[in-house]
Amino acid sequence: MSGARTAPNAETAGRMVEEILDRLASSGDRAACEAAEELVRVLMEFYGAAFARAMDLLGHCPERPAREAVDALLRDELVAGLLVLHGLHPDDAPTRIAHALDALPQDVESIGFDPATGELRLRLTGSADCGRDGSRDAVEQAARDTLACFAPEVTAVTLEAGTASGPVLLQIGAGPPGASSSGPSGRPPATAAP
């Protein structure tokens, strides 16, 4: 495999990063050099947190079967996000989208994902139509946040109104202001004779 690139070890990668930062520093562009150093810091923190989480998840129950250990890693937002970023996540986009939607506190279902545009259309179902757990904007934002980790292919979320599958909810109140305690005919309710 003459065209295959071998993965650098930690020492080689560190040396390459230092060389790139040194080249930027020698260019005299201080802002670019500071931005590059910040980028390296952010990436190191991200990768460090993901590896720490993976070690923590694997260390909780070291005797469990390998498949259960892998499932624990794939359910974790941070680790799953890193795997997706590098094309290493074993699940396809529809599976990851379904997993992300299952993690939402609202009842939503996917009614279509367009891989060409990245748009995911969702519908509120069940009691979510009644405003449980926030407004439509809050539901859309929660979906976008969860999908960003598990399915970054989704670049837009459109929330459509659900279909009324359950009973219609009626508002029950004391009546309009100034209303008396009269019965439905407008007359006071009948009382039993003594």
The arithmetic mean of pLDDT across residues 142-152, rounded, is: 88
Does a structural domain hold residue 182?
no
Q: What is the value of pTM for the model shown?
A: 0.59
Side-chain-side CA neighbours of 123 within 13 Å: the count stands at 11
Q: Is pLDDT of 89 > 60?
A: yes
Does a structural domain hold residue 180?
no
Tokens (6 digits) for 152: 């970054």
**Can you give the pLDDT at residue 192?**
47
Does a structural domain hold residue 99?
yes
**Can you give the pLDDT at residue 134?**
55
Expressed as residue numbers, the domain containing 60 is 18-90
| Same domain, residue pair 101 and 152 | yes
- Output the CA torsion sign for 58, 59, 60, 62: positive
| Same domain, residue pair 22 and 82 | yes
**Can you give the pLDDT at residue 38?**
93
**Structural domain count of the chain:** 2
| Same domain, residue pair 22 and 70 | yes
Please write the tens of the pLDDT for every residue from 23-56: 988 988 889 889 999 999 998 898 888 888 888 8
The arithmetic mean of pLDDT across residues 73-85, rounded, is: 87
CATH of the domain at 133: 3.30.300.130
State the Rg of the chain over Cα.
28
**Can you give the pLDDT at residue 121?**
92
Does a structural domain hold residue 149?
yes
| Same domain, residue pair 100 and 156 | yes
159: left (phi over 0), alpha (psi -120 to 50) or beta: beta
Does a structural domain hold residue 191?
no
Helix boundaries (H) for 90-177:
93-102, 136-150
SS3 37: helix
Question: Of the candidates 57, 90, 123, which is a domain's last residue?
Answer: 90
| Same domain, residue pair 119 and 153 | yes
| Same domain, residue pair 53 and 108 | no
What is the 8-class DSSP label of residue 160? E
| Same domain, residue pair 99 and 138 | yes
Confidence class of residue 194 from pLDDT cuts 50, 70 and 90?
very low
| Same domain, residue pair 111 and 153 | yes
Which of 114-118, 132-136, 137-141, 168-172 has the least mean pLDDT? Answer: 168-172
Higher pLDDT, 147 or 59: 147
Q: Is pLDDT of 68 > 70?
A: yes
| Same domain, residue pair 63 and 100 | no
The arithmetic mean of pLDDT across residues 174-185, rounded, is: 52
166: left (phi over 0), alpha (psi -120 to 50) or beta: beta
Q: Is pLDDT of 10 > 90?
A: no
Confidence class of residue 113 from pLDDT cuts 50, 70 and 90?
very high
Q: Is pLDDT of 22 > 80?
A: yes
The arithmetic mean of pLDDT across residues 128-156, rounded, is: 77
